[in-house]
A and B are shown apart, each in its own frame.
Chain A
Amino acid sequence: MKRKFLCAGLTAAMVLSLAACGESAGSDSQAAASGSESQAGAAGATAEFIVGGMGPLTGSAASYGISVRQGIEVAVNEINAAGGVTAGDTTYSLKMVFADDEATEDKAVSAYNSLMDQNINALVGATTTGCCMAIADISNQDNLLVVTPSGSGVDCVKNPNAFRICFTDTLQGETLADFAVNEMGAQNIAVLYSNSSDYGTGIRDGLVSKAEELGATIVANEAFADADVDFNTQLTKIKGTNADVIVVCGYYQAATYITKQAADMGLEIPFLGSDGWDGVLETVTDPATVEGAVFLSSFFSAATDEMTSGFVSTYEENYGSTPDQFAADAYDAVYVIKAAMEQAGSIDSDALISAMHQVQIDGLTGAGLSFDENGEPNKDAKFIQISDGAYTIYGENGGEETTAE
């Protein structure tokens, strides 16, 4: 009998202690985050603007989240060292708090809520498409400015509070079509796409519709699976057409086999690739097979402009690795938020969100980065050409180089 009461008492105690834990856990992690935080804002900073970050730090997609966190960290440190952000008559120092969402939707919701407990003013995240969708509606209810660095699914920015830095798959296809027709002068386009994921099919759809709109003809439209190693059937079919260019929408593993088999076959049509081609030079056995190929990439770590090289060297110094596209997207996201704060002259969410439509920055991932009414980015795409066995910026046009803010 006594035991039962004891049991009930303990249960009540547990519930209460968990309630207490909630508060202390919030402040603990805040303290931990600020501990790992850089030097506090420079002199003159009177207030704090908290930038939340979200992404997988554990699990199979962990590398994405870690890159995003490090990208944010570099940008935040840089801005604080330069004196913070002046919005209206207040100068803010930035502070980053980051939550692990493990790239799963249910964890994303609690990660988001833990960030809201820490009173974030804007969010850079989530890193993956699924997590973006999981927090889309709740962040809209909270009226929080959300800038996702890398959520490429169309619905990630369906709400007015959400913006993205990366291209959607469809937009990437359209950019490729534009490049093929207007830059390479192709009239007959052969398409090879991966149908294993939304990535390949999304790019294909955008490419085909845009190319037809521009008056080009799709002479071949062939699918493959990401794990395929033999592409002779598709390539033979393409060889029988009068294609001016082969567009490969897929990852670099497939591109490696495709270019090799095309060379063996004596196919001499130029290749154009999607951003999944990044890394293709490291996997080909003979660089001559990919010589002259062009692919889209929003970030090119070997670029020589001041902004990119500065970012790459700071990043390498701090983390011992070369930044990837995720880090660059996250870095740009922080600068976009900074520009929105300056434009709005306040840190009020409504003002920030409406200011997002007016900002324009020159980012790592593209010059003239701005946002349309749907929260989609408008920016110049970067094309990388493989020449003499090395990555170079297509056309290497010095006049177009970006300058740091």
Chain B
Amino acid sequence: MIAVKKYQKLLINIGIAVVIYVLVMLAIQFGWVGRQLLSMIVPVCTNVMMAVSLCLIVGFLGELTLGHAAFMSVGAYSGALVSMNLPLPGWLSLAVGLVVGGVVAALAGVIIGVPVLRLRGDYLAIVTLGFGEIIKSVFNTLGITGGASGLSGIPLMTSYRNFTLVFILTLIVVVVVSNLVKSRQGRAICAIRDNYIAAEAAGIKVSKYKVMAFVISAFFAGVAGVVYAHNISILKPGNFDYNTSIEILVMVVLGGMGSIRGSIIAAVILTLLPELLRGVADYRMLVYSIVLIVMMLFNNSKFKEKLMARRQAAKVSKEA
């Protein structure tokens, strides 16, 4: 009975993915939506990847990091440089770029993972903030990255016309992270979050799992960066500052930390919202901020608690 239920859950998740894919493809094919929304498809996917990968650190490992955009920029720059300079046919160079971008970002994850072993909480947050600023300054001064004026002329290979590829990458990130969390390693990561000392006493190698979470998260942020780079075709160091990191963090927090589905929904909403608010012209950012505050308040309200409690009760009574 339980096995059947598990099977059903998997089927439903696949069903949701297929339905979304088909709907978006149909929208692209038949021009149901305007160009503005079409151009938002890939940013939505990259933000979903960013939010889900950050969710691993913030939601499951329980550490606050303010430098996620730095991993993204490392991946974006290295992936873009590879695909621009390798004498390979387009698709192959993009594939190599994706791998290289992810791996280089993962290496950066190892570098930042070392201080992580010593620091917790607010201190770690500040270290990652500093790390992000350092990465930004490095890209600002390096000649190969085009300095402050940016790296331009990146081939447009992950625009919405290649939605299938971007969608598959996004699915991979979501599937890997959600399966990781359910695995032995994932439970160890969650144990560190829930009680550090108890986890250590139970024989969990805390440092190993912490670095692991950081590296996996950085890898996927790097992949998201490569997709970003090949969608916009120009990279500037200033676009990966702490504001971007905080934007991603807001998505994870709004989605309810530790909920992958929540992170995805929050990423979709928060990416589309500023665009859908173009109609209110001058008040756009004001309305956006107010909506953000209202959503956060709702997330923490008694009203939502009641809703959740009722849902839980219905579930329990049905199972009984």
Whether A and B are associated in the same complex: the answer reads yes
Interface residues of A (CB under 8 A from B): 1, 3-5, 7-8, 11-12, 15-16, 18-19, 21-23, 25-26, 28-29, 31-33, 36, 57-58, 99-100, 104-106, 109-110, 112-114, 116-117, 129-130, 133-134, 137, 153, 155, 197-198
One of B174-182, B202-210, B229-237, B291-299 contacting the partner? B229-237
Is B149 a contact partner of A29 (Cβ separation < 8 A)?
Answer: no
Within 8 A of A (CB), among B22-54: 23-24, 27, 32-40, 43
Given contacts A58-B285, A105-B239, A134-B234, contact A114 B34 (CB under 8 A): yes
Expressed in whole angstroms, the Cα–Cα distance for A213 and B40 within the complex equals 49
A29 in contact with B278 given A8-B15, A117-B36, A133-B152 (CB within 8 Å): yes
CB distance from B225 to the nearest CB of A (A): 12
Of A33, A58, A134, the contact of B284 (CB 8 Å cutoff): A58
Cβ–Cβ contact B150 & A133, under 8 A: yes
Cα distance A110–B37 in the bound complex, in angstroms: 8
The DSSP consensus for interface residues of chain A is: helix
A109 touches B232 (CB 8 A): yes
Cβ–Cβ contact A100 & B284, under 8 A: yes
| Contact status A105-B236, CB under 8 Å | yes
CA distance A28 to B283 in the complex (A): 14
A117 touching B34, Cβ below 8 Å: yes
- Bound form: Cα–Cα A57–B34 in Å: 23
B228 to A, closest residue via Cβ = A106
Q: How many residues of B contact A (CB 8 A)?
A: 47
A105, B34: Cβ atoms closer than 8 Å: no
Q: Are B27 and A19 in contact (CB under 8 A)?
A: yes
A197–B39 contact, CB under 8 A?
no
Expressed in whole angstroms, the Cα–Cα distance for A329 and B32 within the complex equals: 37
A4 touches B9 (CB 8 A): yes
User: In the complex, are the beta carbons of A22 and B36 less than 8 A apart?
Assistant: yes
User: Cβ of B43: which chain A residues have Cβ within 8 Å of it?
Assistant: 106, 110
A100 to B288, CA, bound (A): 14
Shortest CB distance A63–B (Å):
14
Q: List 5 A-B contacts (CB under 8 A).
A: A18-B276, A19-B27, A32-B280, A58-B284, A110-B40
Determine if B110 is an interface residue (Cβ-Cβ < 8 Å).
no
B88 at the interface (CB under 8 A from A): no
Q: Chain B 247-275, CB within 8 Å of chain A: the 1/0 string?
A: 00000000000000000000000001001
**Are B276 and A105 neighbours in the complex by a CB distance under 8 Å?**
no
**Minimum CB–CB distance for A175 against chain B, Å:** 21
B156 on the A face (CB < 8 A):
yes
Provide the bound-state CA to CA distance between A33 and B152, in Å: 32
- Tell me which residues across on chain A come within 8 A of B32, comparing CB atoms: 19, 22
Inter-chain CA distance A34–B311, complex, in Å, is: 46
Known A105-B234, A105-B236: A113·B34 in contact at CB below 8 Å: yes
6 tightest Cβ-Cβ pairs between the two chains A and B: A28-B279, A114-B36, A117-B34, A22-B33, A22-B37, A113-B35
Which of these, A4, A16, A22, contacts B34 with CB under 8 Å? A22
Interchain CB contact (< 8 A) of B12 among A4, A15, A29, A110: A4
What is the minimal beta-carbon distance from A199 to any residue of chain B, in angstroms? 10
Q: Do B37 and A57 have beta carbons less than 8 Å apart?
A: no
Q: Mark B187-216, 1 if CB is under 8 A from A, else 0.
A: 000000000000000000000000000000
User: What is the minimal beta-carbon distance from B298 to any residue of chain A, in angstroms?
Assistant: 17
CB distance from B259 to the nearest CB of A (A): 13
Contact between chains at A18 and B20 (CB < 8 Å): no
Q: Which residues of B contact A57 (CB under 8 A)?
A: 282
In the complex, are the beta carbons of B36 and A110 less than 8 A apart?
Answer: yes
Decide if A33 touches B281 in the complex (CB within 8 Å): yes
Q: What A residues does B38 contact at CB under 8 A? A: 113
* Partner of B148 from A32, A36, A117, A198 at Cβ < 8 Å: A198
Distance between A148 CB and nearest chain B CB, rounded to angstroms:
15
Known: A25-B36, A36-B281. 4 other contacts (CB 8 A): A8-B12, A19-B37, A26-B34, A197-B148
Nearest CB to that of A30 among chain B residues?
B279
Contact of A15 with B234 at beta-carbon distance under 8 Å, contacts A117-B36, A198-B149 already known: no
Q: A114-B34, A114-B36 are in contact. Are A106 and B279 (CB under 8 A)?
A: no
Instruction: Judge whether B315 is part of the interface by a CB distance below 8 angstroms.
Output: yes
For residue B114, CB closer than 8 A to chain A, the reply is no
